[in-house]
Amino acid sequence: MADGAVLARVGPNAAIQTFAAVRVLRGEAAARDVAAGAGLADWVDLPPADMIPEAAAARIFTAVHAACGGEAPAVMAEAGRRTADYVLANRIPPPVRAVLPWLPDALAGRILLSAIARNAWTFAGSGGVATGARPFSVEIVANPLAQPGGCAWHAGVFERLFRVLVHPGATVRETACCAAGAPACRFEIRLR
At 87, the amino acid letter reads V
Taking the C-alpha atoms of residue 55 and residue 58, their distance in angstroms, rounded to an integer, is 5
Work out the pLDDT band at 7, boundaries 50, 70, 90.
confident
What residues contact 19, with CB distance under 8 A and at least 6 apart? 31, 34, 35, 43, 44, 47, 60
186 pLDDT more than 80: yes
Kindly give the residue spans of alpha helices, DSSP state H, lying in the chain: 3-7, 13-26, 28-37, 54-68, 72-90, 94-99, 105-118, 121-124, 152-165
Looking at the chain, the whole-number percentage of residues with pLDDT higher than 90 is: 94
Query: What was the pLDDT predicted at 22?
Result: 98
> Model-level pTM greater than 0.75?
yes
Query: What was the pLDDT predicted at 88?
Result: 96
5 pLDDT more than 70: no
Taking the C-alpha atoms of residue 113 and residue 130, their distance in angstroms, rounded to an integer, is 9
| End-to-end Cα separation, the chain, in angstroms | 42
- What's 72's domain CATH number? 3.90.1520.10
H or E element at residue 133: strand 128-133
Range of the domain at 26: 3-190
What residues contact 175, with CB distance under 8 A and at least 6 apart? 186, 187, 188
Instruction: Write the pLDDT tens digit of every residue in 71-127.
Output: 999 999 999 999 999 999 999 999 999 999 999 999 999 999 999 999 998 999 999
What is the count of structural domains for the chain? 1
Query: What was the pLDDT predicted at 6?
Result: 55
Looking at the chain, the whole-number percentage of residues with pLDDT higher than 70 is: 97
Mean local confidence (pLDDT), 163-171: 98
Query: What was the pLDDT predicted at 14?
Result: 98
